[in-house]
């Protein structure tokens, strides 16, 4: 269950972190798969994008994982898509005030690698 403070955090920040939502074995399963994808073992339909500063050679990531900033089409991977459909994840989503308007899931995973300032330029609509 989300606390009132967590719901307020969602309104303020646009996301909420829920420590302990998944069991350690479940987290390890998702983490192991992510590491496998970072090592180059992604489904062909999945797009793994490197941070722009890494691609330009301006920054060398500590590990291959630290160079990734986006994974697209995670629904093509049964293990990662399982996270999006996990009962605990869905239970949290149902507690958010936007749940009635929640009709889809973005199948992009955005990652902010540590020690890399890969901020994109402003979009024309900003």
Residue 16, in any domain of the structure: yes
Q: What percentage of residues in the chain have a pLDDT greater than 70?
A: 78
pLDDT for residue 102: 66
**Distant-in-sequence, close-in-space partners of 117: CB < 8 Å, separation ≥ 6:** 53, 59
Average pLDDT over residues 28-41: 92
Average pLDDT over residues 94-106: 70
Expressed as residue numbers, the domain containing 11 is 4-110
Residue 101, in any domain of the structure: yes
Residue 124, in any domain of the structure: no
Model confidence at 29, pLDDT cuts 50, 70, 90, reads: very high
Cα angle vertex 42, ends 18, 119, to 5°?
A: 60
Is pLDDT above 60 for 5? Answer: yes
């Amino acid at each position: 269950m989300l606390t009132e403070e967590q719901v307020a955090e969602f309104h303020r920040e646009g996301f909420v972190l829920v420590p302990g939502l998944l069991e350690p074995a479940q987290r390890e399963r998702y983490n192991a798969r992510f590491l496998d994808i970072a090592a180059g073992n992604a489904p062909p339909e999945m797009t793994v994008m490197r941070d722009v500063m890494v691609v330009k050679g301006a920054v060398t990531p500590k590990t291959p994982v630290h160079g990734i900033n986006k994974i697209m089409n995670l629904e093509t991977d049964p293990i990662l898509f399982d996270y999006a459909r996990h009962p605990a994840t869905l239970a949290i989503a149902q507690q958010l005030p936007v749940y009635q308007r929640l009709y889809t899931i973005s199948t992009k995973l955005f990652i902010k690698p540590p020690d890399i300032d890969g901020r994109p330029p402003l979009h024309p609509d900003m």
